[in-house]
Amino acid sequence: MLFSSINFLYYFLPIVLVVYFLVPFKLKNLVLLISSLFFYFYGEPIYTLLMLATTLSSYIHGLLIGHFRGRVWSKVFLWSSVITSIGALGFFKYSDFFIHNVNNIFGSSFSLLGLALPIGISFYTFQTMSYTIDVYRGEAAAQRNFIHLATYVALFPQLIAGPIVRYVTVAEELSQRSHSFENFSYGVTRFVLGLAKKVLIADQLGAMSKALYGMDEASVGGYWLYAIAISLQLYFDFSGYSDMAIGLGRIFGFHFLENFNYPFISKSIGEFWRRWHMSLGSWFRDYVYIPMGGNRVKLPRWFFNTLTVWFLTGFWHGADWTFICWGLYFALFLMLEKFWLNKLFQKLPRFVSHIYVVVVILISFVLFNAAGMSGAITDIGGMFGAGGIPLWSAQTSYYLSGYAVILLCALLGATPLLKTGVRKLKENITARKIINVLEPIVVVALLLVVTAYFVDGSFSPFLYFRF
């Protein structure tokens, strides 16, 4: 079930909210669990069993790890848990990738399995792994209540596209959390703003990128406009979903951590990844990079650690060489920054480093969205005039003028200017009162506009469902 749908907004969510707030606290997790299972079952009937099996495995492993804490069996059960989780993820997500590459390398003819990718498996697998690892480290107590753990794994606000919520973040709130009008109001506002970002901006940018990519009159300018459109689409699509997840979580009393912090204003690739998909970056840092030694190792080992983490980051996103190359592409620039670029940019005006980051990011997302490596080569080549294509074309001008307003809105929305402006206005008592009156009106208006899009029949899938 999609957040961006009539069924979710006007049937599923209102019913869940009514039941949730009517039942006593001891039944609230059960209501959330049943609702979340229905939410997932609505779109993935068979794979609901896989998610439950993964949860049960983590529950049993967590109890065993906690029981044998400090003894060798604790590590045995930790590795058993990790291998089980990665095994399920690898089988359903990467089987055909490995079979295809084996066939290409050895000339074999093994049949592809053709398995459908379970929605959200990359996210809930990392969540269950963080749980058992934290129990092993002593950072979390083993959860003895299966309903609580299953609610954490299946919680529908963040189940299918993140952010990756660690167990330690919500462990206390699973047993004891507060509900208030302030939290509910904040949650609704955050959810509607995220929904508007997704439907009114990301989906329109998607139409723009599709139109630019399908132009008969290809041009260098058209390829760069496509790169801008697809990069902003990915940002507003995924950050919009994260906003919705955080908002829904707050309505139900959970405080999820932020997942995006205006990444396009970064002045280095390192800073970009501290602002983009922060829950994934911190997950790899804490559960892969630091356990491997991080940067407190000799230089050859640091190169190995960095390449490994970014290989895995790319591979996590999808079973294709484009994603692996995308991850290693970032590893290259992070290495260049560490040894050379950061020192260079300190001597240059600040706008130079910002331009560098924007160019690197635009190329990266063209690679990220390409149809295979051959498509990536064609698309990136087009950005630099490969094949003798012209710098500009009449068709490029046509689409630029047609989507100019939404593009300007997206560019503005990708910066903290609006947020900063509102915050400064609120420092004035009169302005704050006016904003407090206008805010709910704007939220309702946005919801009505979004609803009109749904009634019109617009289908609005999230891009990260593919990963």
DSSP assignment of 387-445 = GG--S--HHHHHHHHHTHHHHHHHHHHTSSHHHHHHHHHTTSHHHHHHHHHHHHHHHHH
Confidence of residue 2 (pLDDT cuts 50, 70, 90): confident
Residues designated catalytic? 317
CB neighbour list of residue 43: distance below 8 Å, 6 or more residues apart? 1, 119
pLDDT tens-digit profile of 314-331?
999 999 999 999 999 999
Supply the mean pLDDT for the chain: 94
Which residue intervals of 337-393 are DSSP H helices? 342-346, 350-368, 372-383
Poorest-pLDDT segment among 115-129, 366-380, 445-459: 445-459
Predicted model pTM: 0.94
**330 or 428, which is more confident:** 330
Segment 421-427 mean pLDDT: 90
pLDDT, one tens digit per residue, over 378-395 is: 999 999 999 899 999 999
**453 pLDDT tier (thresholds 50, 70, 90):** confident
- Over 60: is that where the pLDDT of 118 sits? yes
The per-residue pLDDT for range 9-61, each reduced to its tens digit, is 999 999 999 999 999 999 999 999 999 999 999 988 899 999 999 999 999 99
Could you read off the pLDDT of 134-149 as tens digits, one per residue?
A: 999 999 999 999 999 9
Count Cβ atoms below 10 Å from residue 85 Cβ, excluding itself.
23
Tell me: the pLDDT tens digits for 206-253? 999 999 998 888 999 999 999 999 999 999 999 999 999 999 999 999
Helices 13-22, 25-43: axis angle to 10 degrees equals: 160
Res. 456 pLDDT band, cuts 50 70 90: confident
